[in-house]
């Protein structure tokens, strides 16, 4: 028989070593139903009716926990501080999720035509950017030094 959403969430949490709390369940359920890239504030507003006593801080902490364990993803890992691109010509970036450093990647040819074709009619395209996220060499080395196995 089909397992319930709750059972699936409990299973997920067990895999990730997370305590199953009512707040986490509700936040996860609601986020999965919001198909428009919500901010923490918007998630808070959404769960508030069901969890009237929840704190915004809990929403932040829970979202971070989910991102860290991979239950959800962040659309933009570099908010928080504006970053300037002095370089004129088009090139992709590598963004380190640990130290936030941005590294220019050498130019390459993506299929921009196909990409632009996927933009809804009536939208005005201004710039296309590609980004690779991960952990940079520096951080990997640092991590290895700290936790040798």
Provide the binding-site residues for DNA, judged by CB under 7 A: 13, 18-24, 39-41, 51, 53-58, 60-62, 64-65, 79-82
Q: Which residues contact 13 (CB under 8 A, 6 or more apart)?
A: 19, 20, 24
Nearer to its own copies, 18 or 136 (CB): 136
**Tokens matching residue 97:** 């999720």
Q: How far is the CB of 16 from DNA (least distance, A)?
A: 9
Q: Which residues bind its own copies (CB under 8 A)?
A: 31-41, 43, 63, 72-76, 78-87, 92-94, 97, 101-111, 114-137, 140-141
Nearer to its own copies, 84 or 145 (CB): 84
Nearer to DNA, 61 or 142 (CB): 61
Number of Cα atoms under 13 Å in the Cβ half of residue 100: 8
Asked whether 51 and 23 are in contact (CB, 8 A), the reply is yes
Task: Choose among 98, 22, 36, 28: nearest CA to 66.
Answer: 28
Nearer to its own copies, 2 or 113 (CB): 113
Q: How far is the CB of 98 from its own copies (least distance, A)?
A: 10
**Tokens matching residue 27:** 């936040």
Phi and psi dihedrals of 94, rounded to 5? -110, 125
């Amino acid at each position: 028989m089909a397992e319930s959403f709750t059972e699936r969430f409990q299973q997920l949490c067990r895999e990730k070593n997370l305590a199953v709390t009512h707040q986490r369940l509700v936040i996860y359920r609601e986020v999965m139903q919001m198909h428009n890239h919500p901010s923490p504030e918007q998630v808070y507003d959404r769960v508030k009716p069901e969890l009237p006593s929840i704190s915004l801080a809990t929403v932040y902490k829970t979202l971070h926990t989910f991102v860290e364990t991979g239950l959800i993803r962040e659309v933009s890992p570099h908010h928080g501080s504006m970053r300037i691109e002095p370089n004129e010509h088009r090139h992709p970036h590598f963004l380190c999720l640990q130290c936030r450093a941005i590294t220019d990647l050498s130019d390459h040819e993506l299929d921009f035509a196909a990409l632009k074709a996927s933009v809804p009619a009536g939208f005005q395209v201004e710039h296309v950017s590609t980004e690779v996220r991960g952990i940079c060499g520096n951080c990997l080395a640092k991590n290895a030094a700290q936790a040798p196995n």
